[in-house]
């Protein structure tokens, strides 16, 4: 039983773990009713809240402090073999799940004897929350992935996050209501959970797992596409309407508008539209049609309202403004130039506009001063561009998902 490398304090801790586990098994054998046993807290906490920890001194000190904060009993082990042995004893004690070792916290380990990976990969007979506490693992994507691939439930180097996770683990099996649900994960099967406990348990233990489609929901017994998504939205706090459910989001309409600041290169004049019903001059532009791109809408509206064919050269502004929960207004303001500087502005009145004019910066500000503008935008953009303002490149807007703009040397 004695292993040479074990120190006496570790030996004591280890003995205590064995003693506690057996003591509880003994209590069980004397017919402590399961429900009573499970709901009990306080004096039972040390038995119900066991952590096995394999870590160096500095990490252990952190874990120890956190364990004290959340009321877990901590046993330190020096090696993978010892950790495995402690977990084995806990599993063999045949106590209900929540009286076993609940949590394994391990550093990555630098040698074969204390590497976390074989520990993570070992099959478990009972649900165990496994946390790799390591700065290296937490900050290195590939190692982080390797830990989860091997069976970790959480990878962190943040004491506060560890504390919050352990608090969630500690609350499992403590609620007073109906606790008849079992985790649907085939190798977990943690039972005796309330609806809310199951709701918290699933992402905490199994967020890295893709449950097969069509599994039966443990709560409502319906077969569902993705059990985790179903549970997340239909049960627990969202199921009772205490939290927003993704399924209940109200339909939200996006109202998109494209506006154009069009400047003629030959004389620096701006294209302004004389708006319908004597409402003053304004920028060309309007509502984006269903199925239409922003840029196409900008070009179309400028032709309809101002009679000028344009080329968009940049994006001056992207505005996205939610109006309550059901409507959102979006406006993109483009910078543009005419394809042909000699093309006259529109002069035949129609439903789109009364006509349009090429105006100098001074004239624009003069019209504004005389309150003959529909809104402040023409004057604002004229001032911005006159004082050296620049536009973002057109490549920041695209209808293509998952694309990146070409670099200058690729074009
Ligand atoms: Zn589970
Ligand atoms: Zn359900």
Calculate how far, in angstroms, residue 236's C-alpha sits from the geometric centre of ligand 2.
Answer: 10
Instruction: Residue 300: give the domain boundaries.
Output: 254-390
Across residues 131-160, what is the average pLDDT?
Answer: 95
CATH number at residue 8: 3.40.50.2300
Calculate how far, in angstroms, residue 171's C-alpha sits from the geometric centre of ligand 1.
Answer: 14
Domain termination site, one of 137, 171, 205: 171
Across residues 39-46, what is the average pLDDT?
Answer: 35
| 365 confidence band (pLDDT: 50, 70, 90) | very high
**pLDDT digit string (tens) for 70-99?**
999 999 999 999 999 988 888 776 555 445
Predicted TM-score (pTM) of this structure: 0.72
Residue at 405 is within a domain:
no
Calculate how far, in angstroms, residue 191's C-alpha sits from the geometric centre of ligand 2.
Answer: 16
Across residues 94-106, what is the average pLDDT?
Answer: 73
Q: Which ligand is nearest to the CA of 204?
A: 1
| 407 confidence band (pLDDT: 50, 70, 90) | confident
Instruction: Report pLDDT for 226.
Output: 85
CATH number at residue 285: 3.90.79.10
Residues 326 and 263 both lie in one domain: yes
CA dihedral 111, 114, 120, 126 (to 10 degrees): 170
Calculate how far, in angstroms, residue 47's C-alpha sits from the geometric centre of ligand 2.
Answer: 33
Residues 346 and 259 both lie in one domain: yes
Residues 37 and 119 both lie in one domain: yes
Residues 167 and 232 both lie in one domain: no
Residues 43 and 132 both lie in one domain: yes
Calculate how far, in angstroms, residue 69's C-alpha sits from the geometric centre of ligand 1.
Answer: 24
Calculate how far, in angstroms, residue 48's C-alpha sits from the geometric centre of ligand 1.
Answer: 17
Instruction: Report pLDDT for 4.
Output: 38
Residues 140 and 14 both lie in one domain: yes
Residues 233 and 314 both lie in one domain: no
pLDDT beyond 90 at 66 = yes
Residue at 408 is within a domain:
no
**pLDDT digit string (tens) for 283-306?**
999 999 999 999 999 999 999 999
Residues 260 and 347 both lie in one domain: yes
Q: Which residues contact 306 (CB under 8 A, 6 or more apart)?
A: 262, 271, 272, 273, 284, 345, 346, 353, 356
Residues 15 and 163 both lie in one domain: yes
pLDDT beyond 90 at 343 = yes
The Cα 123–Cα 88 span in angstroms is: 10
Q: Which ligand is nearest to the CA of 247?
A: 2
Write out the E strands in 57-216: 73-76, 101-106, 129-133, 154-156
**pLDDT digit string (tens) for 351-361?**
889 999 999 99
Choice between 266 and 178, residue whose per-residue pLDDT is larger: 266
Residues 192 and 226 both lie in one domain: yes
Residue at 195 is within a domain:
yes
| 55 confidence band (pLDDT: 50, 70, 90) | very high
Residues 226 and 272 both lie in one domain: no
pLDDT beyond 60 at 2 = no
Choice between 314 and 178, residue whose per-residue pLDDT is larger: 314
Residues 192 and 281 both lie in one domain: no
**pLDDT digit string (tens) for 374-403?**
999 999 999 999 999 999 999 999 888 888
Q: Which residues contact 102 (CB under 8 A, 6 or more apart)?
A: 48, 49, 50, 51, 72, 128, 129, 169, 170, 172
Calculate how far, in angstroms, residue 150's C-alpha sits from the geometric centre of ligand 2.
Answer: 29
Structural domains in the chain (count): 3
Q: How many angstroms from the chain centroid is the CA of residue 169?
A: 21
């Amino acid at each position: 039983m004695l292993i040479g490398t074990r120190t006496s304090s570790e030996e004591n801790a280890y003995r205590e773990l064995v003693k506690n586990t057996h003591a509880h098994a003994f209590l069980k054998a004397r017919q402590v009713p399961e429900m009573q046993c499970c709901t009990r807290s306080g004096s039972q906490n040390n038995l119900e809240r066991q952590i096995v920890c394999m870590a160096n001194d500095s990490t252990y000190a952190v874990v120890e402090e956190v364990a004290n904060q959340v009321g877990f009993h901590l046993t330190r082990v020096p090696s993978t073999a010892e950790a495995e042995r402690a977990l084995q004893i806990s599993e063999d004690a045949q106590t209900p799940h929540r009286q076993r070792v609940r949590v394994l916290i391990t550093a990555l380990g630098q040698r074969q004897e204390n590497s976390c990976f074989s520990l993570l990969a070992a099959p478990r007979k009972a649900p165990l929350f496994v946390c790799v506490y390591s700065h290296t693992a937490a900050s290195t994507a590939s190692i982080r992935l390797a830990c989860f691939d091997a069976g970790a439930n959480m990878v962190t180097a943040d004491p506060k996050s560890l504390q919050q996770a352990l608090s969630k683990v500690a609350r499992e099996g403590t609620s007073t209501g109906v606790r008849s649900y079992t985790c649907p994960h085939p190798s977990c099967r943690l039972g005796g959970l309330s609806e809310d406990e199951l709701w918290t348990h699933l992402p905490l233990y199994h967020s890295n797992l893709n449950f097969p489609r069509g599994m039966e929901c443990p709560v409502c017994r319906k077969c569902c596409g993705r059990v985790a998504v179903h549970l997340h939205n239909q049960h627990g706090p969202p199921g009772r309407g205490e939290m927003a459910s993704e399924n209940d989001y109200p339909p939200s309409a996006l109202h998109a508008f494209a506006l154009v600041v069009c400047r003629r290169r030959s004389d620096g004049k701006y294209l302004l539209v004389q708006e319908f019903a004597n409402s003053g001059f304004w920028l060309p532009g309007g509502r984006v049609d269903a199925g239409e791109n922003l840029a196409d809408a900008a070009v179309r509206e400028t032709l309809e309202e101002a009679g000028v064919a344009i080329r968009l050269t940049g994006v001056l502004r992207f505005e996205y403004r939610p109006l309550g929960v059901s409507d959102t207004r979006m406006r993109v303001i483009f910078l543009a130039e005419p394809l042909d500087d000699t093309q006259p502005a529109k002069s035949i009145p129609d439903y789109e506009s009364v006509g349009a004019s090429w105006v100098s910066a001074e004239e624009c500000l003069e019209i504004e001063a005389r309150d003959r503008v529909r809104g402040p935008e023409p004057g604002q953009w004229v001032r911005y561009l006159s004082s050296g303002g620049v536009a973002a490149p057109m490549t920041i807007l695209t209808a293509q998902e998952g694309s990146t703009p070409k670099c200058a040397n690729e074009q």
